[in-house]
Structure 1
């Protein structure tokens, strides 16, 4: 708690209005994760996220399909840790299941939405004139 309080004091030197907003504060460490999550060999995000995980060979071995028919792996352990990793793991798994690159669909949808937004903005500007 001493570490957390010192860190909070430091933040409050830059953002003094924040001090009155704190209602609850909790502190944890890797030891807390090991104790509460039982993650002695991994990390709080499941598989250990170290530099070896991101070596080219390891990345090439990561796949969503398994030797078991219709069993697929998804989530952060397929791609990378955290929310963004889980999102990309889901996209990779969907691509594997559908045998279709879902990223391309998303890229095309993004372009379509941008064009639509540009048309709407142009029409709105014309109405204002």
Structure 2
């Protein structure tokens, strides 16, 4: 019984060490966030008011985007227009020229790199037809 407990403890510690080793520093997270924004919305004007972009690849391109933005800095209609422009740049045969909202928007606070919080809205859009 003691042997099983020791093995369980060792396994748990190894998993914890592996997870801790994968954690990014706040600086690295910020760098990654900015790199994603630059990749999907290369123009500084397109990035204005956005907090993050995550993408899911489907049909050979990043067809689904989760976009977090600050509603006090940019409207949802403006963000949708930027998503339309992103979709129009795609060359995949299944891509459409217009983004469509996949899910209802979600509002909530986000903690910024400097430790302050700000209101953010998150939307999921897709470049695929219905």
TM-score bracket relative to the smaller structure: under 0.3
Greater helix proportion:
1
Q: TM-score, normalised by structure 2?
A: 0.27
Relative contact order (C-alpha < 8 Å, sep 6+): which is higher?
2
Greater strand proportion:
2
Q: TM-score, normalised by structure 1?
A: 0.27
Greater gyration radius: 1
